[in-house]
Amino acid sequence: MKPKRLPKKAQMILNEMPSRGGGLNRWLFKAAIHLLKHQGPDEVEAILEERTAGEPIKKGEIERAVFRAGEAIEGKLLTGNSQMKVWPTIDVNRRTEIIAAGGNLGKLRSKNPVTCVPMDLSPESVITKLFPGDPLICCATTLAGALTRPLSEWIGFLHQQQFIVPSPMRARSGLTQDGRISRRCLENTGYRRYMVVEQDEGTLDEQAAIILHLADIWPLTMVVHSGGKSLHAWFCCESSSENQQGLFMRLAVSYGADPATWTRCQLVRMPGGLRDNGNHQEIVFFNPFVIR
């Protein structure tokens, strides 16, 4: 089948591709968002593979960007209930100022309450503190393999999972916007319990500096090292309004956060879980005392 001709806007975005280290991961997501409006997922992957030829693309990176872009479109990421029509661009000057203030991974670790109060940081212990009772929880070993079960049924298996939805689920399955039954979609995802801020760019020290700054605004519950190049910061937010949550997320995005985690059913790294490359997803900060 002859591929559809791309509109001028999508072609312009393709022509703006940065090199690795210059925001390539964010660009892949942005390009996929625009391309999926005109092409199917397979065609979009092929276009991005051709466009990024010569760059050091990691295995599965393009597929993940297209998958997340599809979810973002389904979840109306760019037009959500908080009236966010466009996410802000990175405020480079402000980000630089925050990083220059001296925050780093070592300082983040030093503020970890569990260094003063010994605590079990196994996935089972941490997840049961994050989600008290026996709520429905959605976890996955792969992006396409999510399952929703009561937390009690996950005990003993959480350490094998790569991903988790950072909010309780309301049902084992739901209907997507195109009418498909899914174990993970907006319809069966409950209220937003944790806002997760993920940064794909910058060193771990730089990411930690941004997290420490945001922690002065909202209560920081946990930070997970992805087992790769990013830190995932969990902020407790269930007592806030969606408008407040949206404003906080916009601020985080302006500092370099990935807006994909705004979608309530978005998968994030399982604390203490196992990444597909064999790396442990370390919990570098955990403060259960801010959980409400």
Judge whether residue 116 has pLDDT over 60. no
User: pLDDT digit string (tens) for 171-203?
Assistant: 999 988 777 889 999 999 999 999 999 987 899
pLDDT at 2 over 50: no
- Measure Cα distances from 76 to 70, 84, 190, 219 in Å: 10, 10, 16, 27
Closest CA to 29 of 67, 83, 86: 67
Return the DSSP state at 10: H
Which residues are paired to 282 by β-bridges? none
Mean pLDDT (whole number) for 142-150: 91
Please give the single-letter amino acid code of residue 233: A
- Average pLDDT of 240-252? 90
Q: What is the mean pLDDT of the segment spanning 43-51?
A: 87
pLDDT of residue 27 exceeding 80:
yes
Q: Tokens 């300082």 label which residue?
A: 107
Rounded Cα–Cα distance for residues 8 and 12 (Å):
6
pLDDT of residue 245 exceeding 70? yes
Q: What is the mean pLDDT of the chain?
A: 86
Contacts of 28 (CB under 8 A, 6+ apart): 48, 52, 61, 62, 65
Kindly provide the b/e burial profile for residues 182-205, where b requires at least 16 CB atoms within 10 angstroms of the residue's own CB: bbbbbebbbebbbbbbbbbbbebb
- What is the SS3 assignment for 55-113? CCCCCCHHHHHHHHHHHHHHCCHHHCCCCCCCCCCCCHHHHHHHHHCCCCHHHHHHCCH
Listed ranges 29-33, 34-38, 42-46, 271-275; the one with the highest mean pLDDT: 271-275
pLDDT at 35: 86
What pLDDT, on a 0 to 100 scale, did the predictor assign at position 114? 67
Residue ranges per structural domain of the chain: 8-74, 92-165+193-290
